[in-house]
Structure formats: structure tokens, C-alpha cells
Amino acid sequence: MTVHLFNCFFSVSICYMISGCQQIELAGKEFQNICYESFKPFYHVPALIHNFKSCCIIDTSLQITEWMVTHEEYELSDSDYAVRIDLMTKVFGIDAAERYFEDLPVSAKTIETCTALLHSYAGAKLIEKAEKLYERMKDSNLPLNALTHNEMMTLYMSVGHVEKVPLVIEELKRQKVVPDIFTYNLWISSCAATLNINEVRRILAEMGHDSVCNEDWVRYINLTNIYVTAGHLVNAESNSLVEADKGTTQRELITYDFLIILYAGLGNKDRIDQIWKCLRMAKQKMSSRNYICILSSYLMLGHLKEVEEVIDQWKQSTTTDFDVSACSRLVDAFADVGLTEKAHSFHILLIQKNCDPASLSK
């Protein structure tokens, strides 16, 4: 059995043991020693923690990190400290994680640990604390990376402060930090949310000329262009958007769309499925633009079965009328970016569903 397979097998076995045997109550240190002493010839401890986190066994993950702290033979890395901050936030709360961070030696207050605490602040939407830490990181001359800036932009998007996103981009460029696809997605989302479509197109052009542009990025760029065209996104005269149903703004709905587009660009169908399922389970009143987004994403990845299912869901919706003209724009938008085969496949599906765009001209 390879080390990797052994790691996976052992982690899954322990996860099932813990989750399935509620009566087993091993003391933290006893459990940690069993894990380590029995399997240390084979198992890398940080990988064990990662796999426990994947199983959502947060308390046990934290116990393992405590074992690492108390055993001198194991030297904690910056990443280990960062993981510990994340786990402490989830188990004991922000205050405990904050105290742990402040008690770390100066040498351990690195970009990894600072960003971990920043992530905790962003998750809790603690704007003032996040901004203070962000400034503190800049003043400390830490080598900030794309992830650090992404955390701040994610926070601003989550609280509706979209106007602050360009300021973070300015800082990122000032420090000559290389943006990643998540950086571009947050930046584009903030512009689309205020219907600044000219800026969206300008950013897409910049993204296409980036030296690290790859297949995922090209797919993302094409999808965004398709979404803007088929979704009829046009420039607004002001930065405010009208409210949608039940207190959800169009800004928030557009943000959900761009999250789907992001994962479609990355080819991650599982995450697309999860987001779409959550939106549907929340009984969120969706616009035709939301349906166009999910249709184009599945179509881009070649999942015609899911495309067919979404068409049925849209036609059966009691809150959003099926829009043949939007589907027609989607066919044209795919053709416009050179994806004629996908445009043809979608057109055939529409005909099979008695939704032929050609009927609009009759």
C-alpha cells in the first residue's frame, strides 16, 4: 500500500470511528498519542490534520495541533500556526484565535499567520478589525500575496462595500503582486454589481493579456463575455441597483452568478452543482439572468444533461417566466466567441424542448 493510499485509508477510518461511535471518549492526549505513535512511520502529521478538517472533525484537528505544540521533536511551520488559528476560530471563536496570534513570537507573525487571522475576521465580517490588520501587514513590510488582497475584497463584497474593491486592486498593483483568477473574479464582480460594464470588458481584456493567462482563464473570459451579452448587462447611470424580491439585491444575485462563472472557469462542476442547489433550496426568486448563467456554465463544460434539467426547471418555475429571447441571445453569444459547436448543441436542445428561438420571428 502506498503512503498516499495509506494516509487516505487511515484518515477515513478514523473519521468514521469518531463520527460513528459517540460513546467513545478518548482524552485528547491519549488519542493524539495513539494516532502518532501507531502510525508515525507512515503518516505526515499536517496531512492528518488536513484530512480530519476535510471530515469536519475540527475538535480532533485542533487536538492534533496541540500535540504538535507539546512535542519538541516536531517543529511548527508558519503553515502549522496558520492552520491552528483557523481551527481555534472555529472551535473557540475569534477572540481566542486573536489572543493566540498576539501571543505568537514576532518571528511567527508571518504572511501565513496574518492572512489566517484576516480570513477569520473576513468570515465574521469584522470590517474594522480586518482593515486594521491589513494596514498593520502593509506597515510591517510583509510580502503580501494575492490571497491577502482577495480576503479583503471578499469581505467588502460580502458586506456590500463594492466601492472599496478597486482600492484594494490599486494597492495590489502598487505592490506589484501578481493577481490570480480569484482576484480578477472579485474585481469583475464588483464592477458588474454596479453595472459598470465598460470596466468589466476592460478588465477582461487586461486579464487576457496577463502573462499567466491559461486555459481556465480563457474559459472564464469567454463565459463572462457570454454572460454579459446574453444577460443583457448594460451600463447603469448610477452605482445603485434596484432591490430584488425579499431584500436580496441584484448586486447579490450578480455576485452569485460570478461565483458560478468562476468555478465553471476552473472546471469545478461539483461546486457549481452545490451553489445552484443552494440557490434553489433557498427558494430564491431568480431572474432570467441567473438561469442564463447556470445554463452557459454547464454548456461550457459540456454537461448537456444538466443543461436540459435547468431548462425544465426554468419552464416549471412559478416565479420566473421562461425567456426564449434570452436563450436565443445565449446561442448567439456562444457563436460570437467561436464556440459554434456548443451553440449548435444548445440550439438543438431548445428545439427538442419546444423552445426554438426561431419561433420568435414568426
Average pLDDT over residues 82-97: 87
Spatial CA neighbour of 314 closest among 338, 334, 294: 294
> What single DSSP character describes residue 249?
B
Report residue 163's pLDDT band, with 50, 70 and 90 as the boundaries: very high
pLDDT at position 361 is: 55
Residue 69: the pLDDT is: 53
Phi, psi of 243 (to 5 degrees): -80, 145
Check residue 319 and give its pLDDT.
86
| Nine cell digits for residue 168 | 484594494
C-alpha torsion sign, points 224, 227, 229, 231: negative
- Nearest one of 272, 276, 261, 280 to 320, comparing CA atoms: 280
Q: Kindly tell me the burial class for residue 190, based on how many C-beta atoms sit within 10 Å of its own C-beta (0-12, 13-18, 19 or more).
A: buried
pLDDT-derived band at 36 (thresholds 50, 70, 90) equals very low
* 88-97, 218-227, 321-330: the lowest-pLDDT one: 88-97
Reference 89, options 131, 125, 121; nearest CA is 121
- CA 6 to CA 8: how far, in whole Å? 5
Better pLDDT: 115 or 281: 115
Radius of gyration of the CA atoms of the chain, in A: 24
Judge whether 234 and 197 are in contact, CB under 8 Å: yes
Grid cell 488559528 — which residue? 85
CA distance 118 to 110: 12
pLDDT for 64: 53
Cα within 13 Å of Cα(125), Cβ side: 6
Q: Which residues of 312-326 are buried (b: 16+ CB within 10 A; e: fewer)?
A: ebbeeeeebebbeeb
Measured in Å, how far apart are the chain's first and last C-alpha atoms? 66
**In sequence order, what are the residues at sequence separation of 6 or more whose Cβ sits closer than 8 angstroms to the Cβ of residue 30?**
none
- For 21, the 3-state DSSP assignment is coil
Model confidence pLDDT, tens digit, residues 40-66: 443 444 544 444 444 444 454 445 555
Least Cα distance to 97 among 86, 110, 105 occurs for 86
CB neighbour list of residue 109: distance below 8 Å, 6 or more residues apart: 101, 140
* 188-207 residue pLDDT tens: 999 998 899 999 999 999 99
Please report how the helices 58-70 and 78-92 are oriented relative to each other, as an axis angle in degrees rounded to 10.
140
How do residues 106-122 score in pLDDT, each as one tens digit?
Answer: 999 999 999 999 999 99
Average pLDDT over the chain, rounded to an integer = 81
Greatest Cα pair distance in the chain: 79
CB 190 within 8 A of CB 157: yes
66 vs 76: CA distance, rounded Å: 11
Q: What is the pTM of this model?
A: 0.79
Q: Are 66 and 32 in contact (CB under 8 A)?
A: yes
